[in-house]
Structure 1
Amino acid sequence: MRSRVDKALGAFLGEQRARLSGIDPALAEVSDALEAFVLGGGKRLRPAFAYWGYRGAGGVDGDAAVAAVAALELVQASALIHDDLMDRSDTRRGEPSMHRRFEKMHRQAAWRGPGGLFGESAAVLLGDLTLVWSDEMLHTSGLGPQELARARPVFDEMRTEVTVGQYLDVLTQATADTSLERAGKVARFKAAKYTVERPLLLGAAIAGAPAAVSAAYTAFGLPLGEAFQLRDDVLGVFGDPSRTGKPAGDDLREGKRTYLIAAAFGALDDGAWAELDKGLGDPSLTDEGVERLRALIRDSGALAATEQRIDELMTASLSALAAAGIDDEARTVLRALADAATRRTV
């Protein structure tokens, strides 16, 4: 699936390169940057869940279906470009983030004005552009009018949910909300629904699945998506930078109010609570400071509690998958995708 999705993305981005080059030669850098970003990595989980959701609901394999689900990677590119900018992240997958790439280009060319502002402006616009292109790729995928009409509401709802989920994430950092309820809601809308449930429902909609199949996909996809995000939260604090492609403790310096962090706040005594609260969100936090916060989180029992929650969510998810009335081949692949999503190290 990954190679087929990449082939579809490459063909689409090649068409966009031709369009942009006809507007102005300076836009070659835009094409270069987006091709490198979109094609340069990623697990392709969202297209995989959508494709096998489609197949599980009786959909027949074809290039149009692959191109349609590949459009999800352009939504993901938009989210990551904007997320890196909001978090002031320097890297993504071991390479400079989009705003840093264009800031560097500005600096090397010795252009006028602040290079940082140029990079940030470019990232906003390129993130917007990939979101626009996601729409175009879906509509030019080759799906028929009825298939597109069924897919459209799911695609729109997904993009709304991930955007407001991102806002809730930003709001939670600003208000320093430490509740598990808020952390769970952010995880659900920022990632859980967008990563698994909505892609599955998109595939089901394209296939014209009955309501029972869509309900089974929700029962499987929502807890799995939450487990995926909790795994991401653990990696954001305890992950190996050589594998994650991001500096150690980035989520701590960015002040991410995740389920892991909320669980720690709920278990710490007043002194340790104040220490975690003071260090969380400090962009100048040293490596030693990161290690200290990690120790506080681990010793509070929050890491173990988060791992237990992941296991509970996986049990619920896989039980729903086992009971779903879908094609057996799709069930097998979806089971493997669930493992890949939650037992990963990057």
Structure 2
Amino acid sequence: MTIHPVDRADLRDRVQRALAEFLAARHRQLMEIDPALAPMAETAESFVLGGGKRLRPAFAYWGYRGAGGADGEEVVRAAAAMEFFQASALIHDDLMDRSATRRGEPSVHCRFAELHRRSGWHGDPEGYGSSAAILLGDMCLVWSDELLHASGLDPVTLARARVIFDAMRTEVTAGQYLDVLVQATGDVSTAKASTIARFKSAKYTVERPLLLGAAIADAPAATHAAYSAFGLPLGEAFQLRDDILGVFGDPAATGKPAGDDLREGKRTYLIAIAFESAAPAEADRLRAGLGDPDLSTEGVHDLREIIVRTGALDATEKRISNLTGEALAALGRAPIDPTAAGVLTELADAATHRST
């Protein structure tokens, strides 16, 4: 099957235009309310338009095309709504994790805290930054709804899409809470880590976008089942790659400090396997360093060595490979358009073999 890089690049450009046009209109709306809202509008534009792989809109669009749907700007706009939901999740996630950076730039809550400091305002800059980030994350969530409804899809099609969109948002919120919960309880079981990976990220990265596209195309149940069989294992493989990058990734590529997930205390599959296989002394060191916001560079290096020595890194890489193979096998059996299947294969590679 021939790869279609031109198709992917063209779709990214169209999604970017849809987002830019929507944000320009929302910028004008906010300025009409009060010019003091300029930082909210400008930060939203910078955050949403300034980066991201646009994988979720791509999976939604090609899920639609694979189910026989014809190209149209209304579908591109509906797929682009995924990016506002993604922005909301990232803004809130960075705040909950107290992450200082995202894509090599200050996180949204840090941007607003710095605005407070520069302006010499009253009160606590960090508190202001947190409040502003919560509100901007909420606004992006509202805008995800608004762009979906303003996409141009007819009411019957929108009603089908709405079922998928609503389920996705509930799942991600539940997954986020479970992620916060295990950091508080210290649960490091692989079962819990897999549940969190599935609902916090995996389903809304691949499966739900594919099913959104299938719903817009009014695809039969067999297509929905095939997309789930492809999307669930691929989404989990995507999250496992993200977990590895959170510990071993190059900061120049990831845009986040080295070992950030260790300082945040993420109870991922990678960490769960390390705990299962670690000697008692290693488990104690892992437990002591995990979640320490002041963990030094040497401390990060030590925990990385434990993860490697226990075989957790190799085991996670093997699981990524197995899950990707399972996903691609399911895609090969899927009753979908072969051109779209070729692009989805390329997207699967992009999701699981990446450095950012």
- Which interval holds the TM-score relative to the shorter structure? over 0.9
1:302 match: 312
**Whole-angstrom CA distance in 2 between matches of 1:228 and 1:54:** 21
1:269 match: 279
Does 1:255 pair with 2:229? no
2:70 match: 60
1:36 match: 46
3-state SS of 2:222 partner: helix
2:202 match: 192
Give the RMSD, CA atoms, in angstroms.
0.4
How big is the shift at 1:29? 1.1
- List alignment gaps of at least 5 residues for structure 2: 1-10
**Whole-angstrom CA distance in 2 between matches of 1:211 and 1:111:** 56
Q: 1:1-346 residue pairs with structure 2 within 5 A? A: 1-346=11-356
Give the fraction of aligned pairs with identical amino acids, expressed as a percent. Answer: 66
- Structure 2-normalised TM-score? 0.97
**Whole-angstrom CA distance in 2 between matches of 1:64 and 1:28:** 29
> Residue type matched to 2:153 in 1?
L
3-state SS of 1:178 partner: coil
**Whole-angstrom CA distance in 1 between matches of 2:39 and 2:320:** 41
**Whole-angstrom CA distance in 1 between matches of 2:13 and 2:186:** 42
**Whole-angstrom CA distance in 1 between matches of 2:39 and 2:197:** 34
How big is the shift at 1:312? 0.7
Deviations 1:212-260 (A, max 9, x none): 0000000000000000000000000000000000000000000000000
> Residue type matched to 1:19 in 2?
Q
> Residue type matched to 1:48 in 2?
A
> Residue type matched to 1:295 in 2?
E
Once superposed, which parts of structure 1, at least 4 consecutive aligned residues long, lie more than 4 Å away? none
2:5 match: none
Deviations 1:282-318 (A, max 9, x none): 0000000000000000010000000000011011100
3-state SS of 2:53 partner: coil
> Residue type matched to 2:184 in 1?
A
How big is the shift at 1:180? 0.4
> Residue type matched to 1:155 in 2?
F
**Whole-angstrom CA distance in 1 between matches of 2:291 and 2:263:** 5
How big is the shift at 1:137? 0.4
3-state SS of 1:310 partner: helix
3-state SS of 1:247 partner: coil
Aligned residues: 346
**Whole-angstrom CA distance in 2 between matches of 1:292 and 1:197:** 36
2:6 match: none
Deviations 1:37-88 (A, max 9, x none): 0000000000000000000001110000000000000000000000000000
- Structure 1-normalised TM-score? 1.00
**Whole-angstrom CA distance in 2 between matches of 1:126 and 1:136:** 15
How big is the shift at 1:146? 1.3
How big is the shift at 1:28? 1.1
How big is the shift at 1:148? 0.2
**Whole-angstrom CA distance in 2 between matches of 1:199 and 1:184:** 20
> Residue type matched to 1:22 in 2?
E
> Residue type matched to 1:167 in 2?
Y
**Whole-angstrom CA distance in 1 between matches of 2:285 and 2:103:** 31
**Whole-angstrom CA distance in 1 between matches of 2:94 and 2:201:** 15
> Residue type matched to 1:246 in 2?
K
- List alignment gaps of at least 5 residues for structure 1: none
3-state SS of 1:281 partner: coil
3-state SS of 2:176 partner: helix
